[in-house]
Amino acid sequence: MKENNTPKTIRLSEYQAPNYLIDTVHLDVRIYEHYTDVISHLAVRANPDVPTASGQPLELVGVELELLGIEQDGATLALDHFRIDGEVLTIKDVPDQFTLLIMTRIHPKQNTSLEGLYVSKGMYCTQCEAEGFRKITYYLDRPDVMSRFTTRVEAPKQAYPVLLSNGNPVERGDLDDGRHYVIWEDPFKKPCYLFALVAGDLSVVEDHFTTSSGRDVLLQLYVEPHDLDKCEHAMDSLKRSMAWDEEVYGREYDLDIYMIVAVSHFNMGAMENKGLNIFNTSCVLANAKTTTDMGFQRVESVIAHEYFHNWSGNRVTCRDWFQLSLKEGFTVFRDQQFSADMGSETVNRIDDVNMLKTVQFAEDSGPMSHPVRPDSYIEINNFYTTTVYEKGAEVVRMIHRLMGKDGFRKGSDLYFERHDGQAVTCDDFVQAMEDANGVDLTLFRRWYSQAGTPHLKVTSEYVSDQNQFSITFEQTTLPTPGQPEKLPLHIPVAIGLLGADGKDLALQLSDGTVLDPLNPVLELKQAKQTFRFNGIKEQPVASVLRGFSAPVKLFYEQERAELAFLMSHDSDGFNRWNASQRLTVEVLLDLMSAYQEQKPLYVDSLLLESFRALLADESLDQAMVAKMLELPTEQFLAELLPKPVQVDAIHHAREGLKRELACGLRQELQQVINRCHMDPEYHYNVDAVAKRSLRNVCLAYVMTLADDEATELCLSQYREAGNMTDQLAAFRALAHSERSEKTQVIADFYQQWSSEALVVDQWFMVQASSPQPDALDNVQALMQHEAFEMTSPNKIRALIGAFCNNNPVNFHRLDGAGYAFLADQIIALNNINPQVASRMSTILTRWANYDRVRADLIKAQLTRIKAEKLSPDVYEIVSKALNQ
Ligand code: B3K
Ligand code: ZN
């Protein structure tokens, strides 16, 4: 663990190009029972682009390494020629060009940080992004140093028959003492964060892909033998991703082999190492029996995401870590486009926007708020955030909207061609878009540097005697840490005006501009702007920010009747759904007031009847109907509604609304359940997924009544389901109820699935998110369960993460027990896995959103954590949380 004596802030403004470059690296990694030796051969030269580089000392970084020896140009380096200060190895008096040989010893089996080289269930694997390579050897661990790597991996053959690294295998052989080796050569130069190595006893599934230019690529998926039946979907997703990137972006794969390895202990979803992706098992393994539809979707999108990085990230990489969104924002956008093309565009958009509004908006209004391109950090791992990823993707999406599909493609072609093999900046990306399209995006660039979610206040007016509809936008962004003043942004607002028949009216501005009927967009560039539409012969209903065309908070008052109208007529699927959400929120606000005033709950019949119509109409997109019926989550409402968050009122209003709707629509819900009957065979396609999601949304409603009939329905679905989507939906509905049958079902589910780690994660998650008052006691008891492991990020997320993130009413208990529980876990995890500990601690950064009592309780826990000896990861989050 790194210690935080004086955690240093790294600043973008202090970026300097490296004094030295490393042209080639040969790594010799020798795995022994108790330690691993790493012998690194480097070809180093002074950076010709830095005039002052020559004669400077060479400074390499290394963490937790035992240095066994160094040679420069073949001669052992005398002790007075180098020194080690903390993490820096400085070598004095180096020539302009020389070789270095560095021998180090590391202890992967003791590495629980899951960064660098570590062991997961007996298998050696690496995670080097962002700065894990320094835990393997001394190096210039920064992304603007790109080198050609060869890697020799050596290990006992019986225990580790599979030895992998980046690129192509060029040599293999047996050695004495039952050891063997393989040499890998990666022809592409890369930064060390893309280095990977695997040694283990793994089974492999193989396939092939022929690229557009006719090259054959061997595809390999390495898993534990027990998981061989869960590889098909990932392999299929990979082939579809490869074909899609050729078709949509003109990007072809460049090596002869593409390997994916599934690892159970992994901090994130997956890692795009060149030619050797390493995946969390949760993002690669899937089959009908063990994986929900949501799990299938996740596998498809993460497989695509990592594959797309081969161009957006690997061939063109980041100059420094402040530019992280250059590869992450762009690649998330690309995987979102891919998922939209594979399934339902609208449903994908709804899910992505929901997540953005719940998680990213919260981050952007708290103490960790930072621009898409941050200005500073203490620990870069803390900046793999939803702002860098998801808001970054929204920024790219806005460019896509402004350039249009073809213009965007011209821009991306130029970007890839111009910067292939380079480490570049977000600015270079925007520049390529500008140059390819002959446009000026100067103002638009502010999206990269300005933090915070813009508020967009909209007012409109219809003047009937002039046939004119005018709409006024006012944008403001609240101050964020380090940025007290905010400037107006360039905001594309997609818009439609609906006539009384529900059809879109033709849009012509008062200056004569006719908006493109296929993509009508207003471009805001000032703090306040009014647009006037002429020739509007009737009072229209405006549909604003269609497709969520910009990541802003929209404030536009519309009557409930208008929302109901949009809900059934808007030609934009996203806004149709959004109208139903807005109407639902209005009704929830009624119920929250009733709860607070202890009055009986009354549900506006407009919502009830709209839902009745949705349930009855089989001609509608059934996936959309399911989405519209899903109530906004408590976390979404906590972010959306005025502060302090009314934790209990939100919970009781939402539960009350579910029950009232279930009561009022019982018959219709039952009819949908009958109509969407369970299929004996599982198929993963748009229609089948839609049908299951609609059935299960209805099942959850019915079970809120928890009567005998509903319970029997759930029990029979639980028993008869032939796939995890249906089984888990029934399991969740029962486990979250007050019915006594649940005890048996919870025990039964574990018994059935105890040998499937990913299903056990679901089992933990369902119990951790139960709204019943015994949830925290159960979570605490489950921490002692045989399947729980404090060294497994998946288990921590499933139990501790699910309780603290997805169970607001229990986590925010007024006695503070939820907060104390989380703080205990953060303190324990700080020593085991700082990255995971730091992720968990972000939950406590939101104290300012809560009432005095809760805020004080959270702050007390933050203070308790801060008194510990902390990793820089946790230190950065906790200190920023306390200093807001
Ligand atoms: N690039 C990796 C994330 C690495 C996280 C380092 N803490 C996965 C991805 O975004 O594809
Ligand atoms: Zn990524």
Q: Give the list of residues 6+ apart from residue 125 with CB closer than 8 angstroms, or none.
A: 117, 118, 119, 196, 197, 198, 199, 200, 261, 263, 278
Distances, alpha carbon 523 to alpha carbons 527, 584, 593, in Å: 12, 30, 38
Asked if 247 and 314 touch (Cβ cutoff 8 Å), the reply is no
Tell how far the Cα of 394 is from the centroid of ligand 1, in angstroms: 18
Residue 536 inside a domain? The answer is yes
727/825 Cα distance (integer angstroms):
31
CATH number for the domain including 206? 3.30.2010.30
**DSSP E strands, 9-137:** 10-11, 20-31, 36-46, 58-61, 66-72, 75-76, 82-85, 88-91, 97-106, 116-120, 123-127
Q: Are 73 and 191 in a shared domain?
A: yes
Q: Are 128 and 186 in a shared domain?
A: yes
Cβ of 268 closer than 6 Å to ligand 1, yes or no, is yes
Q: Give the list of residues 6+ apart from residue 117 with CB closer than 8 angstroms, or none.
A: 29, 36, 106, 108, 111, 124, 125, 126, 135, 136, 197
Asked if 452 and 368 touch (Cβ cutoff 8 Å), the reply is no
Q: Give the list of residues 6+ apart from residue 320 with CB closer than 8 angstroms, or none.
A: 12, 15, 142, 143, 144, 425
Residue 827 inside a domain? The answer is no
Residue 597 inside a domain? The answer is no
Q: What is the pLDDT of residue 6?
A: 67
Asked if 245 and 307 touch (Cβ cutoff 8 Å), the reply is yes
Query: What φ, ψ does residue 732 adopt, rounded to 5°?
Result: -60, -45
Cβ of 305 closer than 6 Å to ligand 1, yes or no, is yes
Ligand nearest to the CA of 130: 1
Judging by DSSP bridges, how do beta strands 491-498 and 521-524 pair with one another?
antiparallel
Asked if 332 and 390 touch (Cβ cutoff 8 Å), the reply is yes
Residue 855 inside a domain? The answer is no
Active-site residue flag, 306: yes
Q: Which residues of 25-56 are buried (b: 16+ CB within 10 A; e: fewer)?
A: bbbbbbbeeeebbbbbebbbbbbeeeeebeee
Ligand nearest to the CA of 321: 1
Sole residue written with tokens 């992304």: 143
- Give the number of other CB atoms < 10 A from CB of residue 14: 8
Tell how far the Cα of 41 is from the centroid of ligand 2, in angstroms: 29
Tell how far the Cα of 790 is from the centroid of ligand 1, in angstroms: 22
Q: Are 255 and 343 in a shared domain?
A: no
Q: Which amino acid is at 320?
A: D
Work out which ligand 1 atom sits closest to the CA atom of 381.
7
Asked if 22 and 47 touch (Cβ cutoff 8 Å), the reply is no
Ligand nearest to the CA of 128: 1
Q: What is the pLDDT of residue 133?
A: 99
Enumerate the β-bridge partners of residue 312: 316
Locate 192 and state its tokens: 């060390």
CATH number for the domain including 359? 1.10.390.10
Q: Are 225 and 295 in a shared domain?
A: yes
Residue 194 inside a domain? The answer is yes
Q: Are 58 and 195 in a shared domain?
A: yes
Q: Are 235 and 268 in a shared domain?
A: yes
Residue 393 inside a domain? The answer is yes
Q: Are 188 and 99 in a shared domain?
A: yes
Q: Are 185 and 280 in a shared domain?
A: no
647/849 Cα distance (integer angstroms):
11
Domain tally, the chain? 4
Tell which one of 194, 241, 272, 323 to mutate to probe ligand 1, the residue whose CB is within 8 A of the most ligand atoms.
272
- Ligand 1, atom 5: closest residue by C-alpha: 129
Q: Are 148 and 22 in a shared domain?
A: yes
Asked if 559 and 535 touch (Cβ cutoff 8 Å), the reply is no
Q: How many residues does the chain have?
A: 884
Q: Are 189 and 225 in a shared domain?
A: no
Cβ of 655 closer than 6 Å to ligand 1, yes or no, is no
End-to-end CA distance of the chain: 27
* Of the residues 416, 449, 482, the one at which a domain ends: 449
Residue 335 inside a domain? The answer is yes
Cβ of 394 closer than 6 Å to ligand 1, yes or no, is no
Q: Give the list of residues 6+ apart from residue 257 with CB closer than 8 angstroms, or none.
A: 168, 169, 217, 218, 219, 220, 275
The three-point CA angle 228-229-232 to 5° equals 95
Q: Are 433 and 443 in a shared domain?
A: yes
420/624 Cα distance (integer angstroms):
41
CATH number for the domain including 467? 2.60.40.1840
- Ligand 1, atom 2: closest residue by C-alpha: 271
Query: What φ, ψ does residue 634 adopt, rounded to 5°?
Result: -65, -35
Cβ of 271 closer than 6 Å to ligand 1, yes or no, is yes
Q: Which amino acid is at 531?
A: F
Where does 288-391 have alpha helices with state H? 293-308, 324-342, 345-355, 361-364, 386
Is this prediction's pTM over 0.95? yes
Q: What is the mean pLDDT of each run of 10 residues along the chain (884 residues)?
A: 68 98 98 98 98 98 98 96 97 97 98 98 98 99 98 98 98 98 98 99 98 98 98 99 99 98 98 99 98 98 99 99 99 99 97 98 98 98 98 99 98 99 99 99 98 98 98 98 98 98 98 95 98 98 98 98 97 98 98 97 97 97 97 98 98 98 98 96 97 98 98 98 98 98 98 98 99 98 98 98 98 98 99 98 98 98 98 98 94
Q: Which residues of 459-476 are buried (b: 16+ CB within 10 A; e: fewer)?
A: ebebeeeeeebbbebbbe
Range of the domain at 524: 455-552
Enumerate the β-bridge partners of residue 666: none
- Give the number of other CB atoms < 10 A from CB of residue 660: 18
Tell how far the Cα of 389 is from the centroid of ligand 1, in angstroms: 10
* Of the residues 250, 275, 310, the one at which a domain ends: 310
Cβ of 381 closer than 6 Å to ligand 1, yes or no, is yes
Residue 882 inside a domain? The answer is no
334/23 Cα distance (integer angstroms):
31
Find the catalytic residue in 115, 129, 300, 306. 306
Cβ of 128 closer than 6 Å to ligand 1, yes or no, is no
Asked if 251 and 99 touch (Cβ cutoff 8 Å), the reply is no
Q: Give the list of residues 6+ apart from residue 805 with CB closer than 8 angstroms, or none.
A: 635, 811, 843
Cβ of 876 closer than 6 Å to ligand 1, yes or no, is no
Residue 74, classified by CB atoms within 10 Å of its CB into exposed (0-12), middle (13-18) or buried (19+), is exposed
Q: What is the pLDDT of residue 4?
A: 45
Distances, alpha carbon 465 to alpha carbons 469, 530, 531, 738, in Å: 11, 19, 18, 60
Work out which ligand 1 atom sits closest to the CA atom of 835.
7
Tell how far the Cα of 190 is from the centroid of ligand 1, in angstroms: 16
Tell how far the Cα of 312 is from the centroid of ligand 2, in angstroms: 9
881/848 Cα distance (integer angstroms):
9
Cβ of 283 closer than 6 Å to ligand 1, yes or no, is no
* Of the residues 424, 449, 474, the one at which a domain ends: 449
Neighbours of ion ligand 2 (CB under 5 A): 328, 331
Q: What is the pLDDT of residue 628?
A: 98
Q: Are 444 and 472 in a shared domain?
A: no
Cβ of 335 closer than 6 Å to ligand 1, yes or no, is no
Q: Left if phi > 0, otherwise alpha if psi is -120 to 50, otherwise beta: which for 265?
A: beta
